[in-house]
Amino acid sequence: MDRLKEALRGVARELAKSIGSGTTLGLGSGSTVATLLEELSPLVIAKTKGVNGVATSTQIELVASRCGVNLVPFRGSVDLVIDGADQVDEGLNMIKGGGGALLREKIVMGSAKSVAVVAAENKFVKRLCENGVRIPVEVFPMARESAKVKLSMLGGVPDERLLQKGYPYFTENGNIILDTMFEPVEDPRELEMKVRSTPGVAEVGIFTFKPITVYRLGTDGSFERLQSND
């Protein structure tokens, strides 16, 4: 973790250069984003009067408040999204939603002028769903069983996310999540479209936004900046 934090500190210094007074950040969720925000906020606050943030979960809302970020309602767009990823393929498509905030993260990311994602190097693969990583699918509770059938017809193996004691996991939107295994994905954009068109699906954790900047965090404390425009 010390080396990861060192890499995140370097990413924070680079991101801080493009953040000024009045910038509104879209804040993804998860432990990596939380650590990045802790490193970034002192740098930004030191040179500006403050920075606004749109949080995508209660977890990151608490972190942002502690870091001195001025939380604001989502008004349809943000300047820069900072987020993490559960898996990144060679085309910089991503699986996200391990923390359950995929719907809000996708709404905010889709409104951003620019997107910066950070991920440890062990999360980079050739194709999504390699190494047994599942794709989270957020589903309205009423569609629990019908969505499972439809996802199976698409070649998926859905598994409803449960809490530790076996109770259903509910997102902050009141929906359930079907963590769905697929064969390594040849065309992420096509699968994203097909899953999203399934009746009862609120959102799918395949993220294919472009342009995007992804920071690959090395185990030696370094980072590599990757860019995709298509």
CATH for 66: 3.40.50.1360
Q: Are residues 45 and 145 in the same domain?
A: no
Structure confidence at residue 46 (pLDDT): 80
Q: Encoding tokens for residue 48?
A: 């500006």
Same domain, yes or no: 162 and 117? no
Q: Which of 99, 128, 130, 124 is nearest to 195 (CA)?
A: 128
- pLDDT confidence bin for 59, thresholds 50/70/90: very high
Q: Let me know whether 54 and 113 are in one domain.
A: yes
7 with 95, same domain: the answer is yes
Q: Are residues 113 and 73 in the same domain?
A: yes
Candidates 52, 88, 56; CA nearest to 71 is: 52
Which whole number is the average pLDDT over 205-221?
96
Residue-wise pLDDT for 135-176, tens only, equals 999 999 999 999 999 999 999 999 999 999 999 999 999 999
- The average pLDDT across 32-39 equals 93
User: How many percent of the chain have pLDDT more than 70?
Assistant: 100
Whether residues 141 and 118 share a domain: the answer is no
Catalytic status, residue 105: yes
Are residue 217 and residue 184 in the same domain, yes or no?
A: no
Report in angstroms the alpha-carbon separations of 226 from 19, 32, 47, 72, 88: 19, 18, 27, 30, 11
Phi, psi of 163 (to 5 degrees): -75, 170
**Strands 24-27, 78-84: pairing kind:** parallel
Task: Give 4's pLDDT tier (boundaries 50, 70, 90).
Answer: confident
Which residues, other chains included, contact 190 with Cβ-Cβ below 8 Å and sequence gap of 6+? none
**Residue of 128, 134, 139, 118 lying closest to 203 (CA atoms):** 139
pLDDT digits (tens, 9 = 90+) for 104-136: 999 999 999 999 999 999 999 999 999 999 999
**159 and 223: one domain?**
no
Residues 87, 148, single domain; the answer is: no
116 shares its domain with 16: yes
Considering the domain architecture, whether residues 181 and 224 belong to the same structural domain is answered as no
Full domain range(s) for residue 26: 2-125+208-228
Average of per-residue pLDDT across 192-207:
98
pLDDT at 1: 58
What is the number of domains present in the chain?
2
Name which residue leads in pLDDT, 229 or 89: 89
Catalytic residue among 105, 138, 192, 203: 105
Q: What is the CATH number of the domain that holds 143?
A: 3.30.70.260
163 and 220 in a single domain? The answer is: no
